Structure 1
Amino acid sequence: MGKPRLLIIGCGDVGMRLLPLLRARFRIFALTSQPARCAELREAGAIPIVANLDNAASLAKLAGLAPYCVHLAPPRSEGASDIRTQNLTAILPDKSRLVYISTTGVYGDCGGASFDETRTVRPQNARAVRRVAAEQALRAWAKRSYSNLSILRVPGIYAADRLPIERLQKGTPALADADDVYTNHIHADDLAKLIMLALFRAKPQRVYHAVDDSDLKMAAYFDLVADAFQLPRPPRLPRYELAQQVSPMLLSFMSESRRMQNQRVKRELGMRFQYPTVTQGVDAALDSVLQHHRFKDNN
């Protein structure tokens, strides 16, 4: 009784990691379009609400429900705008506090440059264009509703169960070093922590890079995981050869190079990473897998 209300939109893996960090402070509602997930959400400490962001009428029950919101839902996979975010802003109360999980893809290819949050966005694929549209829609909503908006731009999320093991097992090639791109990372648990900190500490209408301290090229990340799990390293190919062997979507991920600075989350949010680098996160993932196998062997 008396706890402020928080609404989580898109309560998947990261949302489930966020729930234990917030349920003592908030009465949490979780939107789901899948009735089969209600029991799981209740067990994790949330009150499930069945509705669909693609159906504006189904969201009426959420109108004015919670002054705090975490928006984790991605846009749909077509179009130039984000209808889901537009539908959401129609039912949020004035003077809300919202944390939106966007993507580092809004910057496009930066040629491996290192930069902070002041860099202008330059989306270069349809997915990133929709994310920029979502950010713009939320900024307009925050301005007219006197609300506090925080945007976390998130890179590749990894965890023990979110590693490229299947890709390595298939032998999918990676780029040769001369053509390779710099990528950014965040452990799923650290992202959940960052979302919690943003709810309480973020400045209004502020963008934050939700990235760790790693400075890795993409193939080096694959090699790191392969070595840890005793898998073959992926073959390296020049870009023109790799383009003939991978899907256009995968190639697009391997065509944008950027190194994003994270001083703002440390300085303004007080973030202390549990896994400051991918090396530490992969080591912890390996330990977790080994402990799981030992437990199974002993039982």
Structure 2
Amino acid sequence: MRTVFLSNFLGALPARFRRQRVLIVGCGDVGLRVARVLQGAGGGTRTGIAATAVSHAPRVRVLALTSSPDRVALLRAAGITPLQGNLDDSATLRRLAGLATRVLHLAPPPGDGAGPAQRHDPRTTRLVRSLRRRSLPQALVYASTSGVYGDCSGAWVTEARPVAPATPRAQRRVDAERSVRQLGRAGVRASILRVPGIYAPDRVGGTPEARLRKGTPVLTAPDDVFTNHIHADDLARACALALWRGAAQRIYHASDDTVLKMGDYFDLAADLYGLPRPPRLPRSAASTQLPAMLLSFMSESRRLDNTRLHRELRLRLRYPHVAEGLRC
């Protein structure tokens, strides 16, 4: 096998002879899970969500953009065709034009290390520009964050709620969503998944266990905030479904059915693991004892309405509640 750089021949084939080619941009843990879903759909055994997601697309080839030569072997071993390119270098993205029939964009914007005042996501801008150079993909799904809503004071939030990002990282996500919508206006069926906290026992740092063992405090009940979650496997299945079922310019909350405040979530996990429950602090004390990043998550409270996820993408969650997902 080899790393692919050329797309001229593939792009010239008549549509009826082309297999579906899904390009994953940002193929980390979730991307690899999505690839397994799609490969299950295109193989000889077609079961569960994979078959449902692509029942009309029996042949799926999965490609992934990577900027790290060290990941090429890992991607190949997973049955994925690696494409070398860097979202921070436009010249390396030109080969993406016309290559994929569907694109899943999982890559995050630059972090605060690129400048905490930066509100723009140049990576998504470069990706969109590269995709516009030749025949457009049929669909693009972007995994954003529920942080774009800011603090909602514990209210139920639907996808129709206006964004109010309170941090530079959330503002960069809003900018990325704007770029995706612009591509949608050019004819691509663009959908956005707004994703809360991702967890999974087989994901690095994917459970609260390490934090519980450190004894990191949580807020007292009167000061506590609602938090939202999605198991990594359910998120992967949501991504696969959105590639085929996502409506144009449509937003979906990729969240499970759990309704818990943050402290209650950690209490539940502690009980499951047989660990002490975390200490509780009032917000006034937490502001002087906890890191700024952690405090920012403790300053936003919302409950995500996932009706569209169930009704429109028709996703049946494998882990509808965190208690089930943490036990698996």
Alignment TM-score, normalising by the size of structure 2:
0.84
Query: Counterpart of 2:319 in 1: which secondary structure?
Result: coil
Q: 1:287 maps to which residue?
A: none
Query: Counterpart of 2:130 in 1: which secondary structure?
Result: coil
CA RMSD, Structure 1 to Structure 2 (Å): 1.1
2:323 pairs with 1:282: no
Q: 1:292 maps to which residue?
A: none
2:106 pairs with 1:64: no
Shift of the alpha carbon at 1:214?
0.3
Deviates more, 1:181-190 or 1:49-58: 49-58
Contact 2:37 2:240 in 1 (8 A): yes
Q: 1:226 maps to which residue?
A: 270
Find the aligned partners of 1:39 and 1:3 in 2 and give their Cα distance: 23
Which one of 183, 187, 194 corresponds to residue 146 of structure 1? Answer: 187
Contact 1:142 1:148 in 2 (8 A): yes
Contact 2:103 2:137 in 1 (8 A): no
2:82 pairs with 1:43: no
2:87 pairs with 1:87: no
Q: 1:262 maps to which residue?
A: 306
Shift of the alpha carbon at 1:45?
1.2
Shift of the alpha carbon at 1:95?
5.0
Deviations 1:134-189 (A, max 9, x none): 0011111221x211001000000000030021111111110001000000100000
Percent of aligned positions with the same letter in both sequences? 54
Q: 1:114 maps to which residue?
A: 156
2:19 pairs with 1:19: no
Contact 2:183 2:190 in 1 (8 A): no
Find the aligned partners of 1:264 and 1:74 in 2 and give their Cα distance: 24
Shift of the alpha carbon at 1:57?
1.0
- 1:184-263 equivalent positions in 2, closer than 5 A: 184-263=228-307
- 1:170-185 equivalent positions in 2, closer than 5 A: 170-185=214-229
Gaps of 5+ in 1: 285-299
Contact 2:151 2:300 in 1 (8 A): yes
Gaps of 5+ in 2: 1-16, 43-58
Contact 1:64 1:91 in 2 (8 A): no
Find the aligned partners of 2:35 and 2:296 in 1 and give their Cα distance: 33
Query: Counterpart of 1:233 in 2: which secondary structure?
Result: coil
Find the aligned partners of 1:3 and 1:63 in 2 and give their Cα distance: 17
Find the aligned partners of 1:164 and 1:245 in 2 and give their Cα distance: 19
Which one of 57, 67, 75 corresponds to residue 33 of structure 1? Answer: 67
Shift of the alpha carbon at 1:26?
1.5
Find the aligned partners of 1:47 and 1:269 in 2 and give their Cα distance: 27
Shift of the alpha carbon at 1:123?
0.5
Counterpart residue type for residue 285 of structure 2? E
